[in-house]
């Protein structure tokens, strides 16, 4: 099995590198990844998959299927970029490619989507070669960044019938992402007041901005009375205008509420709604609450993680060339002293548990972190979480960037199509492909994985955190 995958990846690596480069050079933000989604869909068709576009009624979501019967193994790929991160690749200084749109692959989703696609292609090739029954599905998952695309797809039943799902994330480390993540809700609170001359007739005005301010004060008091692991952040997205001489007739604040469990987020959300209503009452303004999106907490499947870890070890980490090390060193030198000192914090977020001694004098990670079955929370969220509620799921990270590179930075974008990034991508693809093939071939192993999941599901039936009538929204706030 390993030899087959090794040979397959070696033979096709130039092709997959080109796919990753193409997506890198076409950065598009959430739910508007029209070119990237169509490009990947067409490549899936060329590789012999049957593609269903526009799944979950999302134009940039698709499902590429190969094979027949059970089991059904899914690989999840993303391809959305981020605003503010346009960056020339291969540089060691911030250098925007384009002023408009200023988008870039600062989270490495060009690698993520291509790596998962490569894994699906390799698993398909294995089935073909061995004339084996089973189904391989590559899910084109849009809008991960602030959009929770997968949560909409799970809500609409797109993962029904899948037996196991695998995915990965680019990072500076090689590890299994075994930490549970936080569930979240994102909600917009919109206040409507009455405009008036602020000096001449202030008594006739009803300030929507006052309502936003009072609401934020109320929530700041609430923070003392919520569980420690919860997080509540907000951004004022509309202050109501630029003139202090006008009583602001409209204002809007966007809240992001996070907690370890879905029901905890729901509880905090209900209390925040009461505070918003109170602010509207105090200011005689009208309140409209718009649910933007949500995602669940991630549920690790330990049995599946162990198989993925074993295969990641089997694949191993190849040596870096002098050229690769030299570029990584240049990137390292762009980090501030604080960033250099705390680089292990970044790594720990991805599951690294050591003290860093093995990285002494290095710029690239050439090891694999030990697998840790941990309940320690990762203080972040992912929409992979919703898939993990309905299908046994496991994720890994592969080192595609210099040690300590944080996601969503120009440095992450700059390294996005480097040689070591592509090597990491193929490493992730190989480990996922091997795992997929193992599940397609071993009923016993899959049974154990599914039993673990069934045990969780029997106690925790999935309730989609996004209400039925809510549609995904683009970066500009447009509902699709």
> Quick one: 107 or 125, whose CB is closer to Zn ion?
107
What distance in Å separates the CA atoms of residue 270 and residue 360, rounded to the nearest whole number? 49
Query: At a CB cut-off of 8 Å and minimum separation 6, what does 20 contact?
Result: 110, 111, 113, 114, 417, 421, 422, 425
| DSSP labels, 114-159 | HHHHHHHHHHHHHHHHHT--EEEEEEEE---TTT-HHHHHHHTTTT
Query: At a CB cut-off of 8 Å and minimum separation 6, what does 48 contact?
Result: 66, 124
What distance in Å separates the CA atoms of residue 146 and residue 266, rounded to the nearest whole number? 18
> Quick one: 107 or 399, whose CB is closer to Zn ion?
107
> Quick one: 72 or 183, whose CB is closer to Zn ion?
183
Residue 193 DSSP symbol: -
Structure tokens at 179: 């930490």
> Quick one: 153 or 209, whose CB is closer to Zn ion?
153
To Zn ion, the closest distance from the beta carbon of 109 in angstroms equals 6
To Zn ion, the closest distance from the beta carbon of 30 in angstroms equals 11
Q: Are strands 72-78 and 164-171 parallel, antiparallel or unpaired?
A: parallel
Structure tokens at 174: 């090689």
Fill in the per-residue mask, 102 to 141: x = in contact with Zn ion (CB under 5 A), - = not in contact: -----x----------------------------------
DSSP bridge partners of 236: 253
Q: How far is CA 46 from CA 64, 121, 464, in A?
A: 11, 11, 34
To Zn ion, the closest distance from the beta carbon of 80 in angstroms equals 8
To Zn ion, the closest distance from the beta carbon of 277 in angstroms equals 35
The yes or no reply on residue 398 touching Zn ion (CB under 5 A) is no
Fill in the per-residue mask, 181 to 220: x = in contact with Zn ion (CB under 5 A), - = not in contact: ----------------------------------------
Which residues inside 255-284 make contact with Zn ion, applying CB under 5 A? none
To Zn ion, the closest distance from the beta carbon of 408 in angstroms equals 8
> Quick one: 8 or 352, whose CB is closer to Zn ion?
352
> Quick one: 85 or 164, whose CB is closer to Zn ion?
85
Fill in the per-residue mask, 78 to 107: x = in contact with Zn ion (CB under 5 A), - = not in contact: -----------------------------x
To Zn ion, the closest distance from the beta carbon of 382 in angstroms equals 8
In b/e form, how buried is each residue of 114-132, taking b as 16+ CB within 10 angstroms? bbbbbbbbbbbbbbeeeee
> Quick one: 107 or 166, whose CB is closer to Zn ion?
107
To Zn ion, the closest distance from the beta carbon of 403 in angstroms equals 18
To Zn ion, the closest distance from the beta carbon of 83 in angstroms equals 14
To Zn ion, the closest distance from the beta carbon of 458 in angstroms equals 31
Our CA dihedral for 375, 378, 384, 388, rounded to 10 degrees, sits at: 10
Query: At a CB cut-off of 8 Å and minimum separation 6, what does 261 contact?
Result: 183, 297
To Zn ion, the closest distance from the beta carbon of 405 in angstroms equals 13
What distance in Å separates the CA atoms of residue 457 and residue 66, rounded to the nearest whole number? 28
What distance in Å separates the CA atoms of residue 40 and residue 206, rounded to the nearest whole number? 51
| Binding-residue total with Zn ion (CB under 5 A) | 1
Q: Tell me the backbone φ, ψ of residue 98, rounded to 5 degrees.
A: -135, 140
Q: Are strands 231-238 and 134-141 parallel, antiparallel or unpaired?
A: unpaired
Structure tokens at 134: 């089973």
To Zn ion, the closest distance from the beta carbon of 169 in angstroms equals 6
Closest residue to Zn ion, judged by C-beta, is 107
> Quick one: 44 or 107, whose CB is closer to Zn ion?
107
> Quick one: 63 or 169, whose CB is closer to Zn ion?
169
> Quick one: 12 or 258, whose CB is closer to Zn ion?
258
> Quick one: 149 or 205, whose CB is closer to Zn ion?
149
What distance in Å separates the CA atoms of residue 81 and residue 363, rounded to the nearest whole number? 25
Which residues inside 336-375 make contact with Zn ion, applying CB under 5 A? none
What distance in Å separates the CA atoms of residue 145 and residue 31, rounded to the nearest whole number? 10
* Long-range contacts from 17-20, C-beta under 8 angstroms, 24+ separation: 17/417, 17/422, 19/43, 19/114, 19/117, 20/110, 20/111, 20/113, 20/114, 20/417, 20/421, 20/422, 20/425
> Quick one: 107 or 398, whose CB is closer to Zn ion?
107
To Zn ion, the closest distance from the beta carbon of 145 in angstroms equals 7
Binding site for Zn ion (CB under 5 A): 107
């Amino acid at each position: 099995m390993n030899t087959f995958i090794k040979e397959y990846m070696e033979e096709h690596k130039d092709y997959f590198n080109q796919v990753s480069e193409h997506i890198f050079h076409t950065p598009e933000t959430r739910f508007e990844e029209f070119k990237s989604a169509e490009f990947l869909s067409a490549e899936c068709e060329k590789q012999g998959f049957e593609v269903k576009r526009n799944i979950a009624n999302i134009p940039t979501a698709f499902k590429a299927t190969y094979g027949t019967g059970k089991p059904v193994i899914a690989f999840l790929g993303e391809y959305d970029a981020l605003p503010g991160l346009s960056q020339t690749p291969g540089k060691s200084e911030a250098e925007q490619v384009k002023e408009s749109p200023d988008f870039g692959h600062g989270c490495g989703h060009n690698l993520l989507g291509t790596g998962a696609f490569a894994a699906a292609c390799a698993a398909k090739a294995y089935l073909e070669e061995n004339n084996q029954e089973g189904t391989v599905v590559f899910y084109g998952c849009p809008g991960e960044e602030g959009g929770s695309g997968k949560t909409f797809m799970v809500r609409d039943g797109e993962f029904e019938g899948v037996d196991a799902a695998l995915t990965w994330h680019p990072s500076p480390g090689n590890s299994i992402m075994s930490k549970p993540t936080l569930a979240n809700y994102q909600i917009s609170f919109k206040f409507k007041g009455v405009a008036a001359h602020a000096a001449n007739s202030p008594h006739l005005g009803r300030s929507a901005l006052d309502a936003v301010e009072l609401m934020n004060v109320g929530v700041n008091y609430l923070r003392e009375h919520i569980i420690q692991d919860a997080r509540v952040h907000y951004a004022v997205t509309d202050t109501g205008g630029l003139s202090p001489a006008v009583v602001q007739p409209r204002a809007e604040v966007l809240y992001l509420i996070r907690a370890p469990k879905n029901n905890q987020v729901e509880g905090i959300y209900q209390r925040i709604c009461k505070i918003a209503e109170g602010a509207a009452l105090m200011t005689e303004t009208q309140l409209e609450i718009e649910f933007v999106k949500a995602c669940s907490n991630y549920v690790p499947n330990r049995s599946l993680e162990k198989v993925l870890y074993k295969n990641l070890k089997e694949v191993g980490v190849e040596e870096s060339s002098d050229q690769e090390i030299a570029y990584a060193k240049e990137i390292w030198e762009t980090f501030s002293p604080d960033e250099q000192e705390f680089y292990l914090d970044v790594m720990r977020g991805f599951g690294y548990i050591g003290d860093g001694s093995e990285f002494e004098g290095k710029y690239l990670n050439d090891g694999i972190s030990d697998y840790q079955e941990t309940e320690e929370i990762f203080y972040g969220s992912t929409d992979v979480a919703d898939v993990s509620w309905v299908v046994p799921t496991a994720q890994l990270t592969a080192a595609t960037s210099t040690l300590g590179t944080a996601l969503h930075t120009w440095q992450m974008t700059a390294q996005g199509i480097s040689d070591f990034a592509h090597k990491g991508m193929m490493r992730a693809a190989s480990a996922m492909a091997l795992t997929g093939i193992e599940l397609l071939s071993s009923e016993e192993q899959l049974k154990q994985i599914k039993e673990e999941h069934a045990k969780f599901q029997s106690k925790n039936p999935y309730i989609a955190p996004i209400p039925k009538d809510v549609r995904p929204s683009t970066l500009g706030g447009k509902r699709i």
